[in-house]
């Protein structure tokens, strides 16, 4: 048995899972956590579970984070079940308890782990393949937010404080440029210039929030297209994943990150940025799905800012990739040198495309 299999077998034994450990494989393409599909033999039947090792360098209060996940999934499960939904265990994530009863394992050698039921018959996509998938994903994230609108449990922990505070992200980039510990700033001059010329964008939503024009809600905050599962057979959005950043935020952050991750026809780390463009039909499908999922909750001022939210969140993500590149790729996992720089370039190319089409996109929103 390899070291990884032996480690997964030990994690398996730490959780209340029946049956015999068979094997586990690395799974998904997230940038932060370590995810495995683990197969267990249950009386002759192979059953998969989703094992995840949390990145505790990034999530520094993993116990608080897990309390959020428990409270949020519990609230949603309750609502689904009382409204007559019969397949709630596919529509919301289900945590499994560890031997001591808590929903995680915190082990000095193995690390910090959690286990979910594996949702079968559905999958995530890194790249959108059809326009309807945009509608489905956005409706799912909108519904997720609607289901949490009456959440009255314990206040959710800010798992990463100021996560979408774009002003602070901008300052963090300025600090990274000044420090330039690896001498990478010179080669990144065009991107740095692009970033620094857009300082005013960073405060657009913060100002609206500060003035009270747009409300804080419980939001997902990481609504990347590959964080929602779509049914294999029908294509319907079935379950929202990656709940590590569910905390108070703005609806527009969730919509903006959908625009960022779904409107671009090429991969986040595409090296040929001439292929990057914000697709208007996808934008419209996202907006239609999001309005449907949130079911009338969005204020007119929020609707009016859906297009700018796409620009803002894409810009913010570009700032984060650029900072991480300058600081030595400590945050976003990379698989080749320069990958965070490539990711930054696609984000900034997408910002440019969104800027050019801002009026057209606003018209699309107003026509819905």
Q: Which residues bind Mg ion (CB under 5 A)?
A: 30, 227, 242
- Residue 191 or residue 257: which is nearer to ligand GN1 going by CB? 257
Name residue 48's beta-bridge partners: 39
Contact pick of 217, 224, 279, 325 for ligand GN1 (by CB under 6 A):
224
How near is the Cβ of 355 to ligand ADP at its closest, in Å? 28
Site residues (vs ligand ADP, CB under 6 A): 27-28, 30, 32-33, 35, 50, 93, 116, 118-119, 124, 226-227, 241-242
Cα separation of 144 and 365, whole Å?
21
Contact 221, 164 (CB under 8 A): yes
- Residue 244 or residue 342: which is nearer to ligand GN1 going by CB? 244
How near is the Cβ of 173 to ligand ADP at its closest, in Å? 23
Kindly identify the residues of this chain, within the stretch 298-317, that bind ligand GN1 according to CB under 6 A.
Answer: 317
- Residue 39 or residue 221: which is nearer to Mg ion going by CB? 221
32 binds ligand GN1 (CB under 6 A): yes
Judged by beta carbon distances under 5 to 8 A according to partner kind, the member of ligand GN1, Mg ion, ligand ADP, none in contact with residue 50 is ligand ADP
How near is the Cβ of 246 to Mg ion at its closest, in Å? 13
Q: How is 76-139 classified by DSSP, letter by letter?
A: HHHHHHHTT-S-HHHHS--B--BTTSSS-EEETTTEEEEEEE---SEE--SS--SHHHHHHHHH
Alpha-carbon distances, residue 238 vs 105, 190, 343 (angstroms): 27, 41, 28
245 binds ligand GN1 (CB under 6 A): yes
How near is the Cβ of 33 to ligand GN1 at its closest, in Å? 7
Contact pick of 36, 52, 184, 242 for ligand GN1 (by CB under 6 A):
242
Judged by beta carbon distances under 5 to 8 A according to partner kind, the member of Mg ion, ligand ADP, ligand GN1, none in contact with residue 347 is none
Burial of 21 (0-12, 13-18, 19+ CB in 10 A): buried
Question: Which positions ≥6 away from 77 have C-beta within 8 Å?
Answer: 88, 92, 94
The tokens describing 37, both together, are: 């599909």
How near is the Cβ of 125 to ligand GN1 at its closest, in Å? 13
48 binds ligand GN1 (CB under 6 A): no
Contact 34, 7 (CB under 8 A): no
Q: Which residues bind ligand GN1 (CB under 6 A)?
A: 30-32, 222, 224, 227, 242, 244-245, 257, 268, 317
């Amino acid at each position: 048995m390899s070291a990884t299999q032996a480690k997964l077998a030990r994690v398996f034994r730490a959780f209340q899972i029946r049956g015999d450990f068979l094997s586990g494989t690395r799974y998904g393409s997230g940038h932060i956590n370590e995810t495995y599909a683990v197969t267990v033999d249950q009386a002759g039947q192979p059953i998969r579970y989703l094992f995840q090792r949390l990145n505790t360098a990034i999530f520094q209060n993993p116990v608080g984070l897990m309390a959020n996940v428990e409270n949020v999934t519990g609230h949603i499960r309750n609502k689904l079940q009382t409204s007559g939904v019969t397949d709630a265990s596919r529509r919301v994530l289900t945590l499994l308890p560890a031997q001591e009863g808590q929903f995680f394992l915190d082990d000095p050698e193995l690390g910090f782990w959690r286990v979910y039921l594996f949702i079968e018959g559905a999958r995530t996509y890194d790249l959108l393949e059809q326009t309807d998938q945009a509608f489905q994903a956005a409706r799912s994230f909108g519904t997720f937010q609607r289901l949490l609108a009456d959440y009255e449990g314990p206040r959710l922990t800010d798992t990463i404080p100021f996560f979408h505070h774009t002003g602070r992200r901008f300052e963090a980039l300025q600090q990274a440029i000044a420090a330039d510990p690896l001498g990478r700033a010179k080669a990144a001059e065009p991107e740095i210039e692009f970033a620094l010329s857009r300082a005013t964008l960073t405060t657009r939503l913060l100002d609206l929030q500060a003035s009270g024009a747009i409300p804080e809600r419980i939001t997902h905050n990481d609504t990347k297209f590959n964080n929602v599962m779509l049914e294999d057979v029908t294509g319907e959005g079935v379950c929202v994943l990656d709940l590590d950043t569910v905390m108070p935020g703005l609806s527009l952050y969730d919509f903006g990150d959908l625009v960022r991750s779904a409107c671009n026809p090429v991969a986040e780390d595409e090296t040929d940025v001439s292929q990057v463009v914000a697709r208007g039909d996808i934008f419209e499908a996202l907006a239609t799905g999001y309005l449907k999922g949130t079911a009338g909750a969005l204020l007119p001022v929020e609707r009016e800012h859906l297009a700018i939210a796409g620009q803002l969140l894409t810009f913010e993500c570009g700032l984060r990739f650029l900072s991480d590149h300058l600081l030595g790729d400590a945050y976003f996992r990379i698989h080749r040198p320069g990958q965070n720089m490539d990711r930054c370039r696609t984000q900034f190319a997408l910002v440019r495309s969104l800027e050019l089409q801002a009026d057209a996109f606003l018209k699309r929103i107003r026509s819905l």
